[in-house]
Amino acid sequence: MTQNPDLQPPVARREPTPTHIHGQTLEDDYRWLRQKDSPEVLTYLEAENAYTAAMMQSTQPLQDRLYAEMLSHIKETDESVPYRFGGWYYSTRTVEGLQYAIYSRRRAAADDSLAADSPEEIMLDMNKLAEGQAFMSLGGLSVSPDGTLLAYSTDNTGYRQYTLHLRNLATGQDLPDTAERVGSFCWAADSRTLFYTTEDETTKRQDRLYRHRLGETAAQDALLLHETDERFNLGVGKTRDGRYILLECGSHTTSEWRYLPADAPEGTFAMIAERVDEQEYSVDHRHGRFYLRTNDAGKAFRLVTAPVASPGREHWTELVPLKPEAPLEDFDLFNSFIVLSLREQGLPTLQVVELGADGALGHSRAITFPEPTYSAQSHVNREFEVRVFRYAYQSLVSPASVYEYDVATGVSTLLKEQEVPGGFQREHYGSERLWVRAEDGTQVPVSLVYRRESFKQDGSNPLYVYGYGSYGYPLPVSFGSSRLSLLDRGVVMAYAHIRGGGELGDAWHDAGKMQVKRNTFTDFVAVTEHLVEKKYGAVDRVAIEGGSAGGLLMGAVVNLRPDLFRVVLSHVPFVDVMNTMLDASLPLTVGEYEEWGNPNDPEAFATMRSYSPYDNLKPGPYPAMLVKTSLNDSQVMYWEPAKYVAKLRTLKTDTTPLLLHINMDAGHGGASGRYDYLKEIAFDYAFLLRELGVEG
């Protein structure tokens, strides 16, 4: 669709604000858009929303159809698989017509089973908390060991600034105990002491650990640790066996852990192993020994153990050596077995290994999966002394499922598969996994899904390519019922597992960050070119999507190859790389130096400037673009996409739509209610389908 000549976009005034560094000048005409409380800024953002609404008005019938289709594929009243913790079974359920989840529990029977007639006890109804609120999000919840109290945290702005609450589960009433800007929290064994971390108000870095005693005010809470290194964040938790409170202090590349007996909350946290730059480790406990996953010997990670009395590196004993071809992604530790989560050829595998009383490795079995591309990982496993292990499985064509694996027999039992109403039949859809040669010869995995009856590998299909490629995050190969609205219209959908992600372990991450970040972008271009060349999609019908760091990807590849893409969906995009990373007062900036580089260093500056989307816009034609952000985003500030769109409007030479939509009541993840979120997806898909000429 071309620009409607009767509709004119807002024009942001230009106020040159140059930055001089390393003998160069960064030009920025729209820095004034950072003034969030300015009436002029808010008026401009509202004008952008009004323009976008007018440009999308003709798609309203399509949006309505898409929303109805997506809703038809959701079981609106549903419940998760209950899991055991202590004397209770916990679950989460949704109710038709209600936006938010309800968290409840039922008491276990005398034989530890879940009795059919056990009455439900509602712990937390998010719908009630959301009354009168435009946004409501749950940060976390934790039941005290004696089962009488609930600690939970909520955010009602989208800024991810959570308030901690304590609730008496017998009465359903919240206690006066509360704290602000809380991140992680966990109970001591006495069920009367709670440890929690808080963030610095400016940088949003979790930098303080407190101890709270029931009945005291936040002002009385003891400050136990203040982490001053701005690269590091704190997180507090507990070992699965409940014996130790664990405190992690971690950056993107380095970690350090402390521990405290859970039954001695007045004690002092002791160090496990002090931080060493570029070394990470994670911890659990079993039978007087800590089990640690660490990359001290290589990027693929190995598993070691150490006695609690002397857990330093000099006492680490290797249990599972590193395997470069199968990076150790995680582990789940139980009384008599351990589950190793590995990556082989970029796909997850689960290895269940028996443990002797002395910790020696015993019989080992792999849980295998049938499809060419999928996701599989540990599910909720709260109990330590069990002989079963729950895991989750899904693929691009198989709905999310929960299985229980019997360690003694090696048999997996399906507990629940997500029901997909509305006529879904998985045999109508096919998935593939390809390897694509990147610019430098590296083989990049790609996951594909399509509707079988409409798919023809003849170069006629509309093609959608999604990517992320940052922070070592493996792009999930997951099922999405909303995706059916595209597949059923003949769209071929591809997910590019590009460098910078974690699909092939830490080495894959390292190959797409810092000074070699360009690999992320050229990988994505190579994947798209290959899919078109092999006729999975039409050369003139390619849509791409990414969000946050994936929004950086969108901006970078559009600058590299604007001719390759027809339409772009860019969510909360990190596009103003230079100005953001040069401002250490912004949330997250200093910690991000380990992912992108520090632009105060000339070499890092040159690399980052070479791909920063905002700084590399130039006159010429661009694809149709829908750029979305939220006013209360705390991770990628709203002004980045706003500035990007304002600048691009002065440079693009064609009439393809360039739309900016700002959610004025949300944060990084968009709308918080499930129905509102579906409407956002319908809006995005209507834009995409219209621009691809696939509205039927």
**Is 208 within 8 Å of 191 (Cβ atoms)?**
no
CA atoms of 84 and 264, how far apart (whole Å): 25
- CA of 107: how far to CAs of 84, 117, 118, 167, 216, in Å? 9, 10, 6, 18, 30
The C-alpha atoms of residue 195 and residue 497 are separated, in whole angstroms, by 38
Helices (H), 534-576: 549-560
Which of 395, 389, 388, 380 lies closest to 347, judged by CA?
395
State how far the Cα of 407 lies from the Cα of 427, in Å rounded to an integer: 31
The one-letter amino acid code at 550 reads: G
C-alpha distance from residue 29 to each of 16, 38, 133, 542 (Å): 4, 17, 36, 32
- Coil, strand, or helix at residue 3? coil
Greatest alpha-carbon pair distance for the chain in Å reads 77
Amino acid residing at 571 = H
CA pair distance 85, 622, nearest whole angstrom: 54
Residues identified as active-site: 548, 633, 668
pLDDT score for 2: 56
Any idea what the Cα angle at residue 287 is, between residues 282 and 293, rounded to 5°? 20
Q: What angle do CA 231, 18, 622 make, to 5 degrees?
A: 90
Q: Which helix (H) or strand (E) holds 42?
A: helix 39-56
521 phi and psi, to 5 degrees?
A: -75, -45
Q: 3-class DSSP state for residue 680?
A: helix
Q: How far apart are CA 610 and CA 643, in angstroms?
A: 18
Residue found by looking up tokens 């609690």 in the block: 308
Residue 623 one-letter amino acid: P
d(CA 180, CA 160): 11
Q: Provide CB contacts within 8 A for 266, sequence distance 6+.
A: none
Is the distance from CB of 105 to CB of 91 less than 8 angstroms?
yes
Does domain 133-279 correspond to CATH entry 1.10.150.120? Answer: no
298: left (phi over 0), alpha (psi -120 to 50) or beta: left
From the number of C-beta atoms within 10 Å of its C-beta (0-12, 13-18, 19+), residue 465 rates as: buried
Q: State how far the Cα of 645 lies from the Cα of 30, in Å rounded to an integer.
A: 10
Contact 285, 301 (CB under 8 A): no
Closest residue by Cα to residue 283 from 336, 333, 347, 335:
333
Residue 175's alpha-carbon distances to 152, 168, 179, 212, 214, in angstroms, are 12, 7, 12, 13, 9
Hey, where are the domains in the chain? Answer: 19-72+423-692, 76-131, 133-279
Buried b (16+ CB within 10 A) or exposed e, 305-342: bbebeebebeebeebbebeeebbbbebbbbebbbbbbb
pTM: predicted TM-score of the whole model, two decimal places: 0.96
Phi-psi region of 398 (alpha: psi -120 to 50; beta: other; left: phi over 0): beta
Task: Give the integer Cα–Cα distance in Å for 626 and 645.
Answer: 10
Q: Return the sign of the alpha-carbon dihedral for residues 484, 473, 582, 524.
A: negative
Give the pLDDT score at 203. 87
* pLDDT on residue 695: 72
CATH superfamily of 19-72+423-692: Alpha/Beta hydrolase fold, catalytic domain (3.40.50.1820)
**Mean pLDDT, each 10-residue run in order, the chain (696 residues):** 75 97 97 96 98 97 97 97 96 97 95 87 97 96 98 96 97 97 98 97 93 95 97 98 98 97 98 98 98 97 98 98 96 98 96 96 95 97 97 98 98 98 97 97 98 95 98 96 97 98 96 98 98 98 98 98 98 97 91 96 98 98 98 94 98 97 91 94 98 85
Q: What is the DSSP string of 350-388?
A: EEEEEE-TTS-EEEEEEEP--SSSEEEEE-----SS-SE
> DSSP secondary-structure letter at 119?
P
Burial pattern 644-660, b for ≥16 Cβ within 10 A else e, equals bbbbbeeebeeebbbbb
